[in-house]
């Protein structure tokens, strides 16, 4: 078989594992009775800066990080030394009043008069970090000694195709599972319709705790389960962890394709052979098909200080927004009509992005079926001092097109 198809294998395995191991996302069904746990969207980043002592002035960031070194004494030596917390302790609500405060709309508005999903990804990333700080809150300390960062966007499922830029939005979320140094966060988004908030999306993020200088792991507060509903949520977190381990172990870098995968791919390969010749080198596309390598779009961004997070690295939400927007453009260009986001899967944050880096994004369609388009976006960075490129993230987006789209066929083993 001609070398061609690792990207297809990736999505084939992802779909196979997800069928049996990924439970539907749920969360606590409650409303916050504590006004301290209810925020306006503009307050979230300010609250995070307050918690870690970050400065809004880029020139002060070195001084601020030096001050965080003094917080090492507040770090626990073991998880047993930390007081357990409940899921309700970390529950917060955040309001994005697009309807009642129209001045907020322009930042979130698309040319099609819908809400920019890339901006929602930014808000979810900030919300997930704040939820984890609420879980690990130290009442005796003004600032937290923990540096909490996003490790993985496990899954985002959309319940609605379009969002109105003229109706208020509400986010809610809480910690649903805890390891020794990591936490799973369940978040939900709703939009006002009439007098009620209707579900828009469910999201599961995995966050990790680092020490005050963001150099090594740090322990997080254990979790107490208070009801059968919370026990089910925690068990789902365990299943999600097991699924991620299983998926990682089946990487093509570690394991050869299975017999079923080899059969599927060989059938695809045979479908692209020229029937007029008897040569594996002679390849033709079936009707209504596109070579995977011809579905690519690329972009380049300079990572300015404006896009930094509270630890003076590039904000993960910014990376997700840029990747999503390139992925959307790729799906739009490929399908020839406006695509709608259906799901986001397995965004792994492999390496932090430093301020001043050059950010290279490359998107390509990896699988199609009916109206659905699977897009993979690869992110890598290079510093201004050297030309070495390093992978930082891989993003997976599923879109639905307004009309049926062509099939996509890999030409090489790498799909490039």
Q: What is the pLDDT of residue 74?
A: 86
Contact 175, 128 (CB under 8 A): no
- Largest pairwise CA distance in the chain: 78
- pLDDT of 243 reads 84
pLDDT of the residue at 15: 45
Helix/strand/coil for 341: strand
Give the single-character DSSP code of 397. E
Distance CA 230, CA 228 (A): 5
Show the tokens assigned to 292: 């995977």
The pLDDT of residue 260: 82
Distance CA 289, CA 301 (A): 31
pTM: 0.86
* pLDDT score, position 3: 35
* pLDDT score recorded for residue 397: 97
How many C-beta atoms lie closer than 10 Å to residue 217's C-beta?
12
- As a dihedral over the C-alpha atoms of residue 89, residue 90, residue 91, residue 94, rounded to 10 degrees, the angle is 130
What single-letter DSSP state applies at residue 115? B
CA atoms within 13 A on the CB side of 171: 27
Domains contained in the chain, CATH given? 3-15+37-263+286-409 (3.10.129.10)
Q: What is the pLDDT of residue 17?
A: 39
| Residue 27: predicted pLDDT | 63
Please give the Cα distance from 44 to 168 (Å, whole number): 17
pLDDT score, position 2? 37
List of E strands, 284-389: 289-291, 297-302, 340-349, 358-369, 372-382
- Each residue of 38-47: b (16+ CB within 10 Å) or e? bbebeebbeb
pLDDT score recorded for residue 24: 43
pLDDT per 10-residue tile (average), the chain, 416 residues: 42 42 50 76 93 78 76 90 95 96 94 95 97 92 90 93 93 97 97 94 96 92 96 94 76 71 75 71 80 94 89 90 97 95 91 91 95 96 84 94 92 65
């Amino acid at each position: 078989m001609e070398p061609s198809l690792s990207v297809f294998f990736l999505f084939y395995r992802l779909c196979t594992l997800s069928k049996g191991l990924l439970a539907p996302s749920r969360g606590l069904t409650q409303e916050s009775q504590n006004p301290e746990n209810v925020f306006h969207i503009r307050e979230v980043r300010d609250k995070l800066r307050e918690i870690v002592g970050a400065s809004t002035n880029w020139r002060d960031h070195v001084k601020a990080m030096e001050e965080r070194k003094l917080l090492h004494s507040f770090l626990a030596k073991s998880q047993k030394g930390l007081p357990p917390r409940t899921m309700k302790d970390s529950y917060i609500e955040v309001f994005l009043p697009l309807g009642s405060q129209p001045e907020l709309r322009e930042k979130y508005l698309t040319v099609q008069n819908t809400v920019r999903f890339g901006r929602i990804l930014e808000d979810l990333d900030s919300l997930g970090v704040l939820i984890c700080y609420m879980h690990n809150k130290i009442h005796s300390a003004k600032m937290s000694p923990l540096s909490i960062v996003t490790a993985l966007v496990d899954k985002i499922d959309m319940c609605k195709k379009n969002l109105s830029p003229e109706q208020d939005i509400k986010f809610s979320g809480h910690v649903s599972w805890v390891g020794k140094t990591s936490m799973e966060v369940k978040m939900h988004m709703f939009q006002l319709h009439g007098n009620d908030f209707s579900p828009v999306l469910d999201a599961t993020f995995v966050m990790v705790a680092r020490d005050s200088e963001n150099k090594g792991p740090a322990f997080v507060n254990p979790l107490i389960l208070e009801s059968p509903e919370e026990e089910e949520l925690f068990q789902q977190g365990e299943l999600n962890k097991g699924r991620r381990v299983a998926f990682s172990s089946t990487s093509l870098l570690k394991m050869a394709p299975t017999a079923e995968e080899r059969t599927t791919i060989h059938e695809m390969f045979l479908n692209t052979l020229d029937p007029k010749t008897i040569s594996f080198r002679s390849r033709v596309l079936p009707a209504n098909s596109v070579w995977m390598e011809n579905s690519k779009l690329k972009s380049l961004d300079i990572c300015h200080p404006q896009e930094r997070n509270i630890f003076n690295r590039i904000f993960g939400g910014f990376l997700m927004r840029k990747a999503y927007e390139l992925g959307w453009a790729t799906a739009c260009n490929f399908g020839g009509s406006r695509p709608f986001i259906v799901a986001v899967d397995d965004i792994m944050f492999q390496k932090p992005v430093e301020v001043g880096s050059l950010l290279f994004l490359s998107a390509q369609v990896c699988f199609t079926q009916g109206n659905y388009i699977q897009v993979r976006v690869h992110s890598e960075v290079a510093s201004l001092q050297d030309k070495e490129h390093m992978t930082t993230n891989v993003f997976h987006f599923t879109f639905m097109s307004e009309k049926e789209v062509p099939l996509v066929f890999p030409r090489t083993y790498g799909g490039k």
